[in-house]
């Protein structure tokens, strides 16, 4: 955990540390014009008063419990963009491995799971300007939560590193490690190494292979079998038996044991 490389943030990154804000994603979106010339930018907050998850869900963001961090950067508007959620997910898994080595898995496209429960989540929000995309990748990692820190309905589905190992984790160190690993995966993406990203994402989602899942896409729920991540970054679902479809949006909402 104390590797020299991680003692400072990457030198090319502008870091804005906030004691509190509504949401680090919103901070970047609202200050888009001011920060645009300084990209890449990372905003971290010790707490968020309106932390958001995907599908407008609340993200528990109390002080001292977790990483609340958002990266802003530009990408070209091309097929590489659809691999950003996977690349960000892999950076989070490697961050968890660097600080604690739990067996973390990737639930397509970018939920991070340990022992069947969610430990980290990613909210990517892009603004497309013709050939260029302004990307915001917001990352929440549950580090020091106790069961009572999660609302009742999440207690069976969410976990934290402390709940798994019994230890407390330093947030600032974790933010720095995350910053290095995030840009290392982003660089692979920029270099067009999507196949490497898809291969690693498949390796990290092996725990889901062959499992029966419920897949939520818009207002439709499909029950099928997860068959991995396609070379184009989509989720491969078998439904009905013998028919394989590739999905580029949606969420795996239930996994049969
Ligand atoms: C999810 O899995 O639903 C995504 C959770 C993303 C949470 C992070 S915390 C930092 C950033 N700011 C937010 O309001 N949300 C993201």
**Whether 214 contacts 221, CB under 8 Å:** yes
On the CB side of 15, CA atoms within 13 Å amount to 15
- Output the pLDDT for position 4: 63
The closest residue, in CA terms, to atom 16 on ligand 1 is 138
- pLDDT tens for each residue of 156-205: 999 999 999 999 999 999 999 999 999 999 999 999 999 999 999 999 99
Put the strands of the sheet holding 111-114 in their side by side order.
14-21, 41-48, 66-76, 132-142, 117-129, 111-114, 104-107
- pLDDT tens for each residue of 229-249: 999 999 999 999 999 999 999
d(CA 160, ligand 1 centre) in Å: 15
Mutate to test the pocket of ligand 1, among 17, 93, 114, 139 (most ligand atoms within 8 A of CB): 139
Tokens encoding 112: 């991070």
- The CA-atom distances, in angstroms, between 148 and each of 62, 145, 159 are 12, 8, 11
- Output the pLDDT for position 257: 78
The closest residue, in CA terms, to atom 15 on ligand 1 is 52
d(CA 2, ligand 1 centre) in Å: 26
Q: Which residue numbers in the chain have pLDDT < 70? A: 1-4
Cα separation, 96 vs 104, whole angstroms: 7
62 touches ligand 1 (CB under 6 Å): no
d(CA 122, ligand 1 centre) in Å: 5
Closest atom, ligand 1, to C-alpha of 118: 2
89 touches ligand 1 (CB under 6 Å): no
52 touches ligand 1 (CB under 6 Å): yes
Closest atom, ligand 1, to C-alpha of 69: 10
- Output the pLDDT for position 246: 96
70 touches ligand 1 (CB under 6 Å): yes
57 touches ligand 1 (CB under 6 Å): yes
- The CA-atom distances, in angstroms, between 173 and each of 19, 185, 201 are 16, 19, 25
Tokens encoding 171: 């947030």
- Output the pLDDT for position 215: 93
Put the strands of the sheet holding 212-217 in their side by side order.
244-247, 235-238, 220-229, 212-217, 251-255
- Output the pLDDT for position 218: 85
Mutate to test the pocket of ligand 1, among 138, 174, 250 (most ligand atoms within 8 A of CB): 138
**Whether 91 contacts 185, CB under 8 Å:** yes
CB-based burial label for 130 (10 Å; 0-12, 13-18, 19+): exposed
Mutate to test the pocket of ligand 1, among 18, 22, 25, 117 (most ligand atoms within 8 A of CB): 25
């Amino acid at each position: 955990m104390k590797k020299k490389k991680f003692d400072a943030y990457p030198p090319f990154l502008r870091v804005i540390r906030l004691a509190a804000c509504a949401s680090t994603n919103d901070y970047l979106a609202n200050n888009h014009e001011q920060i645009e010339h300084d990209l890449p930018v990372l905003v971290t907050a010790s707490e968020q008063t309106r932390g958001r998850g995907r599908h407008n869900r609340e993200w528990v963001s109390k002080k001292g419990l977790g990483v609340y961090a958002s990266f802003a950067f530009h990408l070209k508007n091309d097929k590489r963009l659809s691999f950003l959620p996977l690349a960000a997910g892999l950076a989070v898994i490697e961050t968890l491995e660097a600080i604690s080595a739990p067996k973390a898995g990737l639930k397509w496209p970018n939920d991070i799971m340990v022992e069947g429960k969610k430990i980290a989540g990613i909210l990517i929000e892009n603004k497309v300007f013709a050939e260029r995309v302004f990307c915001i990748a917001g990352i929440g990692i549950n580090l020091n939560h106790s069961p009572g820190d999660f609302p009742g309905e999440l207690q069976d589905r969410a976990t934290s590193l402390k709940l798994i190992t019994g230890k407390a984790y330093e947030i600032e160190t974790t933010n720095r490690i995350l910053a290095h690993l995030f840009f290392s995966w982003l660089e692979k993406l920029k270099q067009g190494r999507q196949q490497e990203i898809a291969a690693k994402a498949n390796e990290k989602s092996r725990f889901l292979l062959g499992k029966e899942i419920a897949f939520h896409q818009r207002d439709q729920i499909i029950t099928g079998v997860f068959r991995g991540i396609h070379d184009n970054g989509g989720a491969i679902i078998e439904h009905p038996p013998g028919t394989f479809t590739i999905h580029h949006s949606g969420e795996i909402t239930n996994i049969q044991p």
